[in-house]
């Protein structure tokens, strides 16, 4: 088997059917399979997969993963995959017929260990005025990505798990996804890809952004609400604080290696420079609102929600509500 597509899903049977229908139109030059890992769904996900498998062009396999969370589900799919290349995506995407060919070509041409590509929107409602149309921090909330028209090596920039592909050997060297930092029901934790990329880089692996490797991601109207964006950034702050507690990674830019957190002054467990950034964000929020710049105004507000998540998690860490652990590859 050349390629295995792995999809983790939870209670989105209708979306999953449409995604599998799109995948069924793939026509790669190599052998492939699709694996759906059900993370304790209660909405007929298994029946949807079984129904689609009867007319799917290649093996379509169903697995149930009881441990809740996107990372455990992906890890189960990776372990079950037969392909030498493992592709991860979500249950709400659309792909072009040559998607897998572009992945194979990129890995071979670039000679790297993993690749990630563009994630473009399929809007289910008109995007609001406060949402940037040119990418940026807002796009991460709804899992969109566009780094331009040329390949770039991942480092300061990271891919999105909705459109990634790995040589199997990459997981042998860097480990699987960390179950503690990935999405779980009832939370918006979501640093599993970033954390894995940091481990991969430390293990000597190389990854590249490939603009030709694109998927279209369905963006429902429910996610185009300010409340969702605020909650997402709050949980991002929690996730980054968890990485900081475990490995001392910079909370604003975990890929940054020049910062030695042991030398940074702290207040209540939070680096002092983040308080200065919070004050600057309050100022810039007010100025942007006065200038009637809705995009910039909301970006500054969201940074404050991010900071609130950091404060909350660092308080828990300082009061022993989270066990300190060394950063080690997931088995």
Residues counted in the chain: 331
pLDDT in tens, 285-299: 999 999 999 999 999
DSSP letter at 265 equals -
pLDDT for residue 323: 36
Identify the band that residue 17 occupies on the pLDDT scale cut at 50, 70 and 90: very high
Q: Which residues contact 304 (CB under 8 A, 6 or more apart)?
A: 278, 281, 282, 285
Asked whether the beta carbons of 235 and 140 are under 8 A apart, the reply is no
pLDDT for residue 331: 35
Residue 169: count other Cβ atoms within 10 Å of its Cβ.
Answer: 11
pLDDT for residue 196: 95
Of 80, 88, 101, 85, the residue nearest 3 (C-alpha) = 85
| CB neighbour burial string for 205-235, b if at least 16 within 10 angstroms, e if fewer | bbbbbbbbbbbbbbbeeeebeeeebbbbbbb
pLDDT for residue 226: 96
Give the C-alpha separation, 51 to 307, whole Å: 45
Domains of the chain: 3-224 (3.90.550.10), 228-318 (no CATH)
DSSP letter at 209 equals E
pLDDT for residue 257: 60
Give the C-alpha separation, 289 to 295, whole Å: 9
* Higher per-residue pLDDT: 186 or 97: 97
Identify the band that residue 326 occupies on the pLDDT scale cut at 50, 70 and 90: very low
pLDDT in tens, 86-107: 999 999 999 999 999 999 999 9
Compute the half-sphere exposure of residue 128: CA atoms within 13 Å on the CB side of its CA: 18
pLDDT in tens, 106-157: 999 999 999 999 999 999 999 999 998 777 778 889 999 999 999 999 998 9
Give the C-alpha separation, 69 to 140, whole Å: 19
pLDDT for residue 156: 86
Identify the band that residue 329 occupies on the pLDDT scale cut at 50, 70 and 90: very low
pLDDT at 265 over 70: yes
Residue 174: count other Cβ atoms within 10 Å of its Cβ.
Answer: 23
Helices of type H across the chain: 13-23, 45-53, 70-80, 99-110, 137-141, 168-174, 192-202, 226-247, 272-290, 294-318
* Higher per-residue pLDDT: 223 or 156: 223
H helix and E strand count, the chain: 10, 11
pLDDT for residue 327: 35
- pTM recorded for the entire structure: 0.89
pLDDT for residue 324: 36
pLDDT for residue 200: 96
């Amino acid at each position: 088997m050349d390629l295995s597509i792995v999809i983790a899903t939870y209670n989105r049977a209708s979306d999953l059917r449409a995604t599998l229908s799109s995948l069924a139109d793939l026509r790669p030059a190599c052998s492939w399979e699709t694996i759906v890992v059900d993370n304790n769904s209660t909405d007929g996900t298994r029946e949807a997969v079984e129904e689609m498998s009867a007319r799917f062009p290649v093996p379509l396999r169903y697995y149930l993963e009881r441990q809740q969370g996107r990372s455990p589900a992906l890890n189960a799919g990776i372990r079950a995959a037969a392909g030498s290349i493992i592709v991860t995506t979500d249950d709400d995407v659309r792909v072009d017929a040559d998607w897998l060919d572009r992945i194979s070509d990129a890995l071979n041409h670039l000679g790297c260990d993993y690749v990630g590509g563009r994630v473009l929107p399929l809007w289910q409602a008109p995007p609001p005025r406060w949402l940037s149309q040119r990418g940026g921090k807002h796009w991460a909330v709804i899992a969109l990505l566009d780094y331009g028209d040329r390949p770039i090596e991942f480092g300061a920039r990271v891919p999105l798990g909705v459109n990634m592909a790995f040589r199997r050997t990459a997981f042998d060297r860097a480990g699987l996804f960390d179950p503690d930092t990935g999405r779980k029901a009832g939370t918006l934790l979501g640093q599993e890809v970033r954390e894995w990329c940091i481990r991969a880089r430390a293990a000597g692996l190389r990854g590249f952004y490939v603009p030709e490797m694109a998927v279209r991601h369905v963006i429902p109207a429910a996610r185009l609400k300010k409340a969702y964006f605020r909650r997402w950034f709050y949980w991002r702050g929690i996730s980054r604080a968890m990485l900081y507690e475990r490995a001392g990674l910079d909370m604003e830019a975990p890929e940054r290696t020049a910062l030695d957190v042991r030398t940074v002054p702290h207040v209540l467990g939070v680096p002092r420079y983040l308080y200065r950034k919070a004050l600057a964000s309050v100022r810039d929020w007010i100025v942007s609102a006065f200038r009637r710049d809705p995009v910039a105004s909301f970006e500054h507000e969201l940074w404050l929600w991010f900071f609130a998540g950091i404060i909350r998690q660092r308080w828990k860490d300082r009061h022993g509500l989270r066990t300190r652990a060394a950063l080690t590859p997931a088995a």
